[in-house]
Amino acid sequence: MPLYIVPTPIGNLEDLTYRAARVLREASLIACEDTRRTRQLLQHYGISTPLISYHEHNERARTRELVERMRAGAAVALVSDAGTPLISDPGDALARAAIAEGLPVIALPGACAAVTALSASGLSAAGFRFVGFLPVKSSARRAALAALADEPVTLAFYEAPHRLRAFLRDACAILGDRPAVVARELTKLHETYERGALSALAAHFEAETPRGEIVALIAGKAPETAPPPDEPALMAEIARRIADDDLSATEAIRQTAQRYGLSRRQVYQRWLRRSDAPVVKGGQ
């Protein structure tokens, strides 16, 4: 029988999907980090499926036991305390063992704190790197941040409230004063998003004691731009792109402006001032 990976609400109990409720109800047993916490969720939905603890301290022994029970015909649902299992939570050993035994592993979509925070952060969601929790010691944390310094995508971290201040200070020192967001208590009554530069957020949380579960998001490294040449050279580059790369004037202007971090409108207006400039259809 299969192993079901079942996301649970990260705060608001209404965020359990219909499918997740059905799977939890129909499973032979539910493997969970904290039986007390999962039992509260099950009671809310009137689910009486038996629970078995599965956490970092008993992961090895429980993995063997659960695989044997699945081989004997049991359908096992794996949940974490909140959100999607295996995302900074136990479970990867069980999933790998089930796959190695040829047992089906079925993942349900659902709540994930990092994705929820990213959606409302205002930072780029075109790509992101989930990092999870960094090391507790500052030296190791700084080393881990340094290894991420050149990532061009948004970085997503989980952090404990009592370490948030140190995390923000270290991130600012290693990554530079980038745009960032601290999301707390997502989907709960006191959900908050604090947005600003890392230095401003560090100062904010020096004055305010953070509480609750935290997702910290930091903008990726900004693309490096070459120093803009003088105007004749700039116009010559646009002309070269048109002639050699077979680009339209509009596209040549866009690429040239992007390379030097210039306003496309300004480059376009400079181009129009040339007496020999071809007409750019459609304006900018």
Report CA dihedral (67, 68, 73, 75) to the nearest 10 degrees. Answer: -30
Q: How high is the pLDDT of residue 283? A: 45
Structure tokens, 224: 């490096």
**Residues 82-105: tens digit of each pLDDT:** 999 999 888 999 999 999 999 999
From 3.40.50.2300, 3.40.225.10, 3.30.950.10, 1.10.10.10, which CATH number describes the 113-218 domain? 3.30.950.10
Report d(CA 84, CA 88) in Å as an integer.
Answer: 9
Least confident of 127-136, 194-203, 229-238: 229-238
Q: 3-107 belongs to which CATH class?
A: alpha beta
* pLDDT tens track for 231-282: 888 888 898 888 888 888 889 998 888 888 788 888 888 888 875 555 554 4
Residue ranges of the domains in the chain?
3-107, 113-218, 231-273
Percent share of the chain, pLDDT over 70: 96
Do the two domains 3-107 and 113-218 of this chain adopt the same fold? no
Q: How confident is the model at residue 196 (pLDDT cuts 50, 70, 90)?
A: very high
Note the pLDDT of residue 282: 45
Q: What are phi and psi of 130, to 5 degrees?
A: -85, 125
What confidence tens digit (pLDDT) does each residue in 13-27 have? 999 999 999 999 999
Answer whether residue 191 shows pLDDT above 60: yes
Residue where the block lists tokens 């010559």: 236
pTM (global) more than 0.85: no
User: Which residues have a Cβ under 8 Å from the Cβ of 94 and sit 6 or more positions away?
Assistant: 3, 31, 54, 59, 62, 63, 66, 67, 78
Residue 149 has pLDDT above 70, yes or no: yes
In the predicted structure, residue 165 carries a pLDDT above the cut 60 = yes
Average pLDDT score over residue span 221-225: 79
